[in-house]
Amino acid sequence: MNRIGRITLAVAGALTLGLASVTHAQVVMRNSVSIAQNSHQGNGIDVLSQEVEKGTKGRIIIKNFFSGSLGGERESIESVQLGTQELTGTSTGPIPNFVPAVKILDIPFLFRDKAHARAVLDGPIGQALLKEFDSKGFKALAWSENGVRHMTNNKRPINLPDDLKGLKMRTMENPVHVAAYKGFGIITTPMAFPEVFTALQQGVVDGQENPLSVIMAAKFEQVQKYMTLTAHVYSPALLLMNKASFDKLSPADQKVFLDAAKLAAAATRARVDKDDASGVADLRAKGMNIIENFDKAAFVAKLAPVFTQFEKEFGKDKIDAIRNYK
């Protein structure tokens, strides 16, 4: 073979290798949660990344970031909406600022228990709400879970609604939560989650409210004396993806992401159940004063004016549809 022939073969070989490398180029995406890796949400996004890598045979890798290292929930949601970050796992706390229809889920004492809430989210009501995200720049892959929220503080045990009056409480950046907690006489202080531990430690706020899974993962027992198992709000969570990034995937890869999100949500719920089963004993052993029995009827009655406001805002029929769902 002459020199020109050898050069031609070499160029052709290089082009073939180049095309092969483009065909099999690895795509790296970013995902984040605001709490620690060893938590229910951390567990969930770890499962998501493992399942996506497996389902795409390593063509798509998701790099996970924990403990708010890419910003709090609101910042991460904004980044996903803008496309500067592909994915995030988040509570519904800041979601109403982006998708207002989701606000209804944050009404206090709306759900009977976790089983009821999960049935609503997995059923037609919840699935219809997921579609609301499409026009806002998101693909909502699945409902996940944050858990049932309880109140902690450093001032006094909470047995009755009036015990909350005057407490400075960190709340999520959520208008439904803020309205309800003001109904209790709480001095509400919306704050991004990564700032909460220091705010409690320094006395900027007296207390906060979160599920047991979050309280344990954040080690709030180090900076909070009292907890009452108020179970006042069921807190959903979401696995969100930038809509344009999702739309660029092949139908097969889209299915991989959706299936992976279902497994991730199931893993998150399982971890919440585990933490709920062990959390009270664990936190009590670490020194928290925990009130397990409280007058729920008194708390519900205290919010009667706020519930009337919510019925006007959301429609009593829609609230009742959730409350009565079986």
3-class secondary-structure state, position 299 = helix
**Do β-strands 27-32 and 60-65 pair in parallel, antiparallel, or remain unpaired?**
parallel
pLDDT in the model for residue 294: 86
**CB count, 10 Å around CB of 22?**
8
Q: Cα separation of 239 and 144, whole Å?
A: 7
Q: Are the CB atoms for 268 and 144 separated by under 8 Å?
A: yes
The position carrying tokens 């705010």 is 199
Residue 251 Cα to chain centre, angstroms:
26
Residue ranges per structural domain of the chain: 26-323
Give the total residue count for the chain. Answer: 326
pLDDT for 1: 54
Class of domain 26-323: alpha beta
**pTM score, two decimals?**
0.89
pLDDT of res. 15: 46
Q: What is the mean pLDDT of each run of 10 residues along the chain (326 residues)?
A: 50 46 75 96 98 98 97 96 98 95 97 97 98 98 97 96 97 93 96 95 97 96 98 97 98 98 98 96 97 93 97 97 96
Spell out where the chain has E strands: 27-32, 60-65, 87-91, 138-153, 168-171, 187-190, 207-211, 226-242, 289-291
